[in-house]
Structure 1
């Protein structure tokens, strides 16, 4: 058996390294994943590397939210203007919004529970996986990286933290939608006016219904980059430990009561 590639002889394995990123199984808290799905549908699934389902729910959230005026209603509710909040809501879109929103939370929770079980089985089987991927477009390899740097770059621009740890698909998706949110919310224009001391003008140009998407976007990008950096580092250490034990440690090596016995 080749120790460095997955030859599909095992029922389960914990990780896969490709030119698009490192996908791995690890234990996750289903309540945290469900919370991210509640904060923004699709985020919970993207944290699980269920990209197609996550992208679909994310795009659905943006389209239906904007047409149902959910964010606008939330703003009026925060201001205590309940009557206006009811007035701006489009019930035709809202009736589609609620079932899928609840499905995203439930499905991410259910999937997390199932994937935790799969991880425990894969960990028990301990099948080796590939560590290096070289292609015409990219090179990816399992390595240790600094979680603090992942957070720092994500706080500058969401998506940069994912690029740092080579989560290419998530990085591209996050960056594209950040541009969309910035453009339609006019947040950069407002920041420019704010620097010039034109506070009223800065406030007036903002589009709150689009602006409310940005905090969740920043929060997800930061959490995702940090969490995956930590888990990638654990995966690297575990694989290196197994490799060194298999190839350099004598079979009779034991540790008893803090003493090495050969």
Structure 2
């Protein structure tokens, strides 16, 4: 009898489907994950489904960045106002920020390399895993989804693309901080003034300290939704292929190698 539950009877599993999320291993580029950690600490770890560590870095970035006024200093630097950039910075908090920022980049790179090795081993072992979960709080299952739809929903509101592919833990974080960033940055007020043609009022209404979080955050939501939709589709095909081979393919049957 085949075992389709991740109950640690196999040494390594390449995926796990729970009521709250679909978690899987797949090959990733360590430099891309490190770049996302540089763009927004915590994002590189969320790509790896390292939720506790990713959430920790995510909250650290928001709290310490605001306390040090780093985003505001960046805006002043981009506009050539270097004196104001120096004045708004809080050096006591900034010196706390730098070591954790560097560690987040290094740790996401190191973890990606390690998980790539584990994925290769798990792929060779090819242990069966659960592809369907149902309980009192909901249902989750492997299925093929459209990467384009995941991208479109993430553009409308970060987090919706993750909900579309059953990444519930990441989706919850994305939706909560979508509200926080948009509200405190006054982004929708600025959009309202733009529609009225009041460009100066739109610019003046923005809170640059909070608004500077949005580009990296929105870009990450789109990227995460697209990549995980593609990888979920591959995982669905892999699980379906193995099920059909084990239950419907006769053992003497050999698939011909058409490449020869």
TM normalised by structure 2 equals 0.96
**In the TM superposition, what is the alpha-carbon distance from 1:5 to its structure 2 partner?**
1.8
Assess, with a 3 A threshold, how the Cα gap between structure 1 residues 257 and 113 changes in structure 2: closer, same or farther.
Answer: closer
1:142 matched to 2:134? The reply is no
Deviates more, 1:119-128 or 1:38-47: 119-128
Query: Could you list the per-position Cα deviations for residues 161-204 of structure 1 after superposition, in whole angstroms to 9, with x for gaps in the alignment?
Result: 00100111111111101111111101111111221222221111
2:258 and 2:201 mapped to 1: Cα distance? Answer: 69
Residue 216 of structure 2 aligns to a residue in which SS?
helix
Once residues 62 and 9 of structure 1 are traced to their aligned partners in structure 2, the CA distance between those partners, rounded to angstroms, is 40
Q: Which residue of 1 aligns with 2:26?
A: 26
Provide the aligned C-alpha RMSD in A: 1.2
Give the aligned length: 259
Give 2:251's aligned residue: 251
- Report the Cα distance in structure 2 between the residues aligned to 1:186 and 1:256, rounded to whole angstroms: 62
Alpha-carbon distance in structure 2 between the residues aligned to 1:183 and 1:257 = 58
Deviations 1:201-249 (A, max 9, x none): 1111110111010111110110001000000000000111111111111
- Using the alignment, how far apart are the partners of 2:160 and 2:216 within structure 1? 16
Establish whether residue 76 from structure 1 lines up as the match of residue 76 from structure 2: yes
The aligned residue for residue 17 of structure 1 is: 17
| Ranges in structure 1 where 5+ consecutive residues have no aligned partner | none
Q: Does 1:219 align with 2:223?
A: no
1:115, distance to aligned residue in structure 2 (A): 0.7
Once the 2 structures are TM-superposed, how far is the Cα of residue 7 of structure 1 from its aligned partner?
3.0
Partner secondary structure for residue 5 of structure 1? coil
Deviation per CA, 1:124-146: give whole Å up to 9, x if none. Answer: 11110001000111100001000
CA distance in 2, matches of 1:68, 1:74: 11
State the SS of the aligned residue for 2:80.
coil
Structure 1 Cα separation of the partners of residues 257 and 207 of structure 2? 65
SS of 2:140 mapped into structure 1: strand
Counterpart check, 1:196 vs 2:196? yes
Deviation at 1:255, TM superposition (A): 3.6
Q: What do residues 95-114 of structure 1 show as CA deviations (whole Å, max 9, x unaligned)?
A: 00100000000000011111
CA distance in 2, matches of 1:102, 1:219: 21
Match of 2:234 in 1: 234
Mapping of residues 97-246 of structure 1, within 5 Å: 97-246=97-246
Runs of 4+ in structure 1 displaced over 6 angstroms? none
Report how far residue 257 of structure 1 moved.
Answer: 5.0
Q: What SS does the corresponding residue of 1:140 show, helix, strand or coil?
A: strand
1:20 aligns to what SS in structure 2? coil
